[in-house]
Every structure is written in C-alpha cells, then in structure tokens.
C-alpha cells in the first residue's frame, strides 16, 4: 500500500491525471508538498467537512491554502457513517466513495494555477446540505467584485395601505442591464427593474389610480417594457411601454380588483427578458387593507438558462437552446443562489406570525412551495384576497406568472428551509432560510437522548 501511495503521489507531482487513493484508515499520508485531513460530520443540522489535523483542526468547511504548483493531498475520513466523497473539479481530482464510519480516501493533485476553487462532496444533495469549501491557490488578492448584488432583500415589502381612501399613486421603474452576482464565484448579465431581481414590490389600494413611469437606462442595449397582470388594458401596459434606451414612457390604470399580481417585461422574446430577471409583483390591497402581522416577506422564484453548467465559475452566458427546451441550469429565489441563504436571511421570533408574498416569475416552471418544518396556517390560493383562505396546508402550487399569499405562526426556534418541493431544484440553487429565535417548547418538539437521528426512529 505504501508503495502504491508513493507511486500515485509521484505521478501527480509529475503532472499526470490526479488519483483517488482508497485507504482503510487515515493513518497513511501520501507524499506531497502539502497535506490536509478532513472529516465528515453533522453540524447544526448540516452535513459538513471538519478540519481534522493541523492548523485547520476543528474548522467547519475550512479554507485550504496552498502555493501555486504545489502537489496537494487531501485525505477524507468518514466521521458519520453515511456515503461521502470529495472532489476538486478544477484540477480533475475526484475521490472514491466512502461508506462506513472510519473509512478514508485520499486525492493527490497538482495545483497548477492560482485562484480560488471549490471543493465539495458530489453525492447528490450533499453540497446543498453544506458540504463545500474553498481551495485557495497562491496569493489571491482580496479585490472587491464589480458585480452588482441584484438579489432582492425579502424584507422590502413597501408600506401597508391601511384604512385609507383611494388616491392617485405614481411609481418610477428603471430598466437596467447589469452584471450581477449569481453565486459566490459566478456572475450573469441580468436585465432588471430598479437593479434588483425581482423588481420592487409595489403596493396600492383597490380603487387607486396608478401611474407607471418606465425609463430604460441609457446604458441598455435592448428595448424593454412592462406588463402588469393587475392592469385591465392593452398588454397590461406593455403595448404602450416599448421603451428604447434612454427613453421614458408612461401609462395610468385603475386598480379594479384586489390581489397579488405579477408584472414582467413583455418585449419579444418575452421569455428571454423574464428569465434574465425582469419580473416583480404589485399588491392591490382590498378596502380596509390587510390584517396586521409581525413579519412580511417578498419572495419570487425564477430560472436562468446558461451555456455553462450549474456550479461553473465566472460570467455565465445565456443559452437560447436551453430556454426553448425549458431546461434551466439555475433556479433561485430572489435572483441569485445566495439571496435568501447568505445575503438576506429571513428572520422571526417564536410566537410571531409571518406573511409571505410569493410569486413565480418563471418564465416556465410551476412551483410547489413548501417550508420544511412548518405548516401554512392560511394560504390565499392563486393570490385571491377575497376568497376564504385554505387552512393547514403543507405545500401549495403556484403557476408561472402566478402568486400566492401564505401566513403562519412560528412556534419553535430553528432554521426552516424554503423550497420548491420538486426537490431536485434545490441542487440548482433553489433554497432559502427562515431563522427563528426564541425559547424552545419541548411539548411541541424535542429529541430523545440516545436515539440515532439517522435511524429514522
């Protein structure tokens, strides 16, 4: 075994294809310029890598720092008994799969170029569950990214209408074409309303006279427009708002019917404009307004169709072929992979009631909205605010170009994960977090000591 390990290490040092070296234990270390040992574990409900030796010992998903040109050995030890592996795709390094507590494997490769590169477990679902970290090669300068963070803050819901009379309301929308953050390490050329995806949530009262001023930024290349599903009129406004770069067009409408409505760009090809980020919602509150709640959040689901596969780094390019085939590489809440998991995590306290305004920009997929660990107390199906709400709902369907309003009281602290229950989509970025703080009530939920959480009992 020692000779085999040495052979693999020397082959890697000579520039041959990286190898995975299976071991019975973690005690055998390949010959390399730098070595790391990671152990798999469950930490705060997530699957993670934990540093198991040296300077990274005890660190969760540690940064692994090496010099450019170094031969790197990463040993992975199975610490939880489940199936795992480790890969650094940028350098072609892929380990064997580990099954059983204490099993180990080692990958050996040469870090042939400088930069930051992701390592992760390739078992389906494990990366999304938390098993990923960064390999940092060389002296990587901390440079501020020029990409815009387009991911919409879900707490930006506008001011409630309350019990006021109808009035005239004006909104200014700006269409832009900007390079925005898609994930840590990747960007996309988004088209937006007001530089966020989704665009701003607009809030009016039934009976209001509403004026929309749509300006297309001077830096844009394309014509844009806006179609409001809340509008009774030609194209929902799109017929009179085909706006060239640098121009402004306006229209007015009366908000005839209450509800939560999608708006989007309707310039051909419409699906391309929507997919690139040009969607949002307008809430038409009924007379007297909505009931008071403790928290309100604004979330929309969308799709991106790129030439590069999900997980690729750098600027991602639009793929017309994948759009027409309805095969998105990325599916996300609020514009990016990290919008609701890192950049803007939703929060609540035990005992509070949360209202979520949820819509699907699309342009193609239907959503099966679900909050893991919670039950929706009320669902205003199809965003009808005048129909009696459904009660005690686990998962609700929302069509592309449609919306819903859900309300629920949070009774127990912890992290709750927002998903589309077509759960393969979580692997393409479709997750969000609701973090609940407060006192735990064991009458609602508790775990018994001595029970294996992986046993199913």
Binding site per annotation, positions: 224, 229, 264-265, 273, 278, 421
Q: For residue 296, what are its two tokens? A: 């309100």
CA dist 15 and 322 (Å) reads 36
Determine the straight-line distance between the first and last CA of the chain, rounded to whole angstroms: 40
Q: Under a CB-based contact definition with an 8 Å cutoff, are residues 235 and 267 in contact?
A: no
Question: Annotated binding site for Cu cation: which residue ranges?
Answer: 224, 229, 264-265, 273, 278, 421
DSSP string, 221-247: -S-B--EETT--SGGGGGGG--B-TT-
Matching residue, tokens 């005239």:
168
Q: Under a CB-based contact definition with an 8 Å cutoff, are residues 227 and 307 in contact?
A: no
Q: Under a CB-based contact definition with an 8 Å cutoff, are residues 319 and 261 in contact?
A: no
* 131 conformational bin, left if phi > 0, alpha if psi -120 to 50, beta if neither: beta
At 175, give phi and psi (nearest 5°): -90, 135
At 222, give phi and psi (nearest 5°): -105, 155
CA dist 371 and 377 (Å) reads 12
Q: Under a CB-based contact definition with an 8 Å cutoff, are residues 110 and 71 in contact?
A: yes
Contacts of residue 145, defined as CB under 8 A and 6 or more positions apart, other chains included, come to 181, 187
Contacts of residue 40, defined as CB under 8 A and 6 or more positions apart, other chains included, come to 47, 48, 49, 50, 76, 77, 78, 79, 80, 82, 84, 98, 121, 131
User: Strand locations in 138-274, DSSP E?
Assistant: 168-183, 186-193, 202-205, 209-216, 227-228, 248-254, 259-264
């Amino acid at each position: 075994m020692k000779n085999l390990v040495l052979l693999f290490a020397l082959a890697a040092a000579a520039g041959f294809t990286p190898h995975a070296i299976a071991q019975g234990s973690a005690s055998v270390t390949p010959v390399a310029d730098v070595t790391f040992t990671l152990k798999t574990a469950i930490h705060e409900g997530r699957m993670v890598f934990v540093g198991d030796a040296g300077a990274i010992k005890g660190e969760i998903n540690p940064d692994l720092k090496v010099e450019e040109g170094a031969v790197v050995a990463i040993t992975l030890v199975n610490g939880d008994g489940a199936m795992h592996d480790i890969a650094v795709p940028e350098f072609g390094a892929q380990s064997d799969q580990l099954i059983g507590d204490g099993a180990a494997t080692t990958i050996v490769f040469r870090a042939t170029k400088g930069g930051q590169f992701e390592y992760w477990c390739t078992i389906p679902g494990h990366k999304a569950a938390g098993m990923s970290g960064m390999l940092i090669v060389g002296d990587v300068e901390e440079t501020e990214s020029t990409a815009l963070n387009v991911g919409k803050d879900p707490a930006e819901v506008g001011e409630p209408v309350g019990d006021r009379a109808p009035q005239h309301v004006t909104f200014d929308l700006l269409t832009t074409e900007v390079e925005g953050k898609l994930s840590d390490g990747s960007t996309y050329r988004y088209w937006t309303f007001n530089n966020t995806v989704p665009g701003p949530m607009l809030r009016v009262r039934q009976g209001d006279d509403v004026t929309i001023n749509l300006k297309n930024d001077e830096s844009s290349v394309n014509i844009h427009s806006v179609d409001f599903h809340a509008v009774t009129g030609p194209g929902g406004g799109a017929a009179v708002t085909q706006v060239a770069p640098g121009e402004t067009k306006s229209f007015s409408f009366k908000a005839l019917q209450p509800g939560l409505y999608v708006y989007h760009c309707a310039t051909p090809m419409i699906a391309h404009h929507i997919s690139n980020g040009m969607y949002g919602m307008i809430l038409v509150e009924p007379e007297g307004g909505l009931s008071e709640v403790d928290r309100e959040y604004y979330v929309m689901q969308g799709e991106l169709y790129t030439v590069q596969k999900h997980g690729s780094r750098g600027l991602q390019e639009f793929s017309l072929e994948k759009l027409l085939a309805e095969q998105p590489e990325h599916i996300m809440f609020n514009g990016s992979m990290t919008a609701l998991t890192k950049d803007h995590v939703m929060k609540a306290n035990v005992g509070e009631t949360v209202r979520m305004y949820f819509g699907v920009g699309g342009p193609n997929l239907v959503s099966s909205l679900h909050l893991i660990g919670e039950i929706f107390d009320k669902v205003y199906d199809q965003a009808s605010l005048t129909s009696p709400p459904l009660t005690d709902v686990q998962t609700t369907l929302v069509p592309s170009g449609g919306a819903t309003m859900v309300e629920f009281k949070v009774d127990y602290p912890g992290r709750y994960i927002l998903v589309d229950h077509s759960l393969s989509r979580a692997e393409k970025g479709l997750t969000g977090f609701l973090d609940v703080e407060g006192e735990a009530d064991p009458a609602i939920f508790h775990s018994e000591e001595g029970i294996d959480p992986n046993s199913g009992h």
